[in-house]
Amino acid sequence: MTSETTNLPSSEHIRRAPKVLLHDHLDGGLRPGTIVDLARETGYDGLPETDPAKLGVWFREAADSGSLERYLETFAHTCAVMQTRAALVRVAAECAEDLAADGVVYAEVRYAPEQHLEGGLSLEEVVEAVNEGFREGERRARADGNRIRVGALLTAMRHAARALEIAELANRYRDSGVIGFDIAGAEAGFPPTRHLDAFEYLKRENNHFTIHAGEAFGLPSIWQALQWCGADRLGHGVRIIDDIEVADDGSVTLGRLASYVRDKRIPLEMCPTSNLQTGAAASYAEHPIGLLRRLQFRLTVNTDNRLMSGTDMSREFEHLVKTFRYTLDDLQWFTVNAMKSAFIPFDERLAMINDVIKPGYAELRAEWLFR
């Protein structure tokens, strides 16, 4: 074993390291067993598999298939079993538990209330059920010796016409567990400016929002999200790499948009494994996160859809450690970046950094020094 290898954090250290997660979809992180249970309880008979282990494999294979139709089909199944109050409470509680067990100390989990109305719930009832589930999950995590704080981001679907309504909903619940807003769905053909009224409303209300941009579509999506809509963060944002030129001698030139994103410290919600599945990157080694890290962009590491990607924050960090030889210092850098970029008040972010994140990494470094 080389000295370089021994300097890298072990899987155990990565699992125990405090983590911050900003980009995670509630309907993309269900436990396979829960999907089977809820399908049975609600009478949903559309699942491709009823054995939890086989169902988990099916979700990952569908997401890896390269077929957009199969990828979207996975969400049809998860949303189908999330149409009752009890189901939403259970899914949200288990989400918080699972994240806490993985060492996540702060998470912002997003979902689209408009996708959970088929069982007769109102938008308000959906939000209140999910909030209740997150609080229950936080309590269970504490009972297990884990600490986590979970906030909700309400998402509007790009192809629909309810963005302003969902933005107003997010604003009404901003002091009751909802900390921001997002739009998601196919970028091509559905630019963020289509929902400009929602973003203008949120800015007038001094509220926070992120926008899925620069994942499957390129620089125009990022430019609109920032310069027209005023996004606080970019969901994915990997295509900012298209505005960066690397010469044969290794010198790097940033275009005006890339320079703006870096200079303004606009957070990028990177989701490496998900980006491989959707074709935004061909491999971990070729993922833009490596170059963007060297260039000191405000990067964060995220899971996107834990079920479909068969991932969690520890696995995402492990991939980066193996690929880019990242150390505990690098993982702390990503984590502090994420906490700085969270949609909670400054003093609370600072307390999380100084009282939870930095001490947690210091403890792991001390163990490494005296191993």
Lowest mean pLDDT among 182-186, 249-253, 330-334: 182-186
| Structure-block tokens of residue 149 | 């704080």
- Establish whether 27 is an annotated binding residue: yes
Q: Which amino acid is at 14?
A: I
pLDDT digits (tens, 9 = 90+) for 254-298: 999 999 999 999 999 999 999 998 888 889 999 999 999 999 999
pLDDT digits (tens, 9 = 90+) for 5-56: 568 999 999 999 999 999 999 999 999 999 999 999 999 999 999 999 999 9
- Establish whether 249 is an annotated binding residue: no
Mean pLDDT along residues 320-343:
98
**What is the pTM for the complete model shown?**
0.96
Q: What is the pLDDT of residue 22?
A: 98
Lowest mean pLDDT among 58-67, 302-311, 348-357: 58-67
Q: 31, 98 in Cβ contact below 8 A?
A: yes
Q: Which residues are catalytic?
A: 215
Q: Which residue has the tokens 């989990």?
A: 109
- Establish whether 23 is an annotated binding residue: yes
Q: 74, 63 in Cβ contact below 8 A?
A: yes
Q: What angle do CA 62, 84, 159 make, to 5 degrees?
A: 55
- Establish whether 236 is an annotated binding residue: no
308: number of Cβ within 10 Å: 25
Q: What is the DSSP string of 148-173?
A: -EEEEEEEEETTSS-HHHHHHHHHHT
Question: Average pLDDT, whole number, for the chain?
Answer: 94
CATH level 3 topology of 3-30+82-365: TIM Barrel (3.20.20)
The number of C-alpha atoms within 13 Å of 234 and in the hemisphere containing its C-beta is 34
Q: Which residue has the tokens 């979207």?
A: 72
| Structure-block tokens of residue 38 | 């809820």
| Sign (positive or negative) of CA dihedral 246, 252, 254, 259 | positive
Name, in order, each residue with C-beta under 8 angstroms of 331's C-beta and a sequence gap of 6 or more: 9, 14, 17, 317, 321, 361
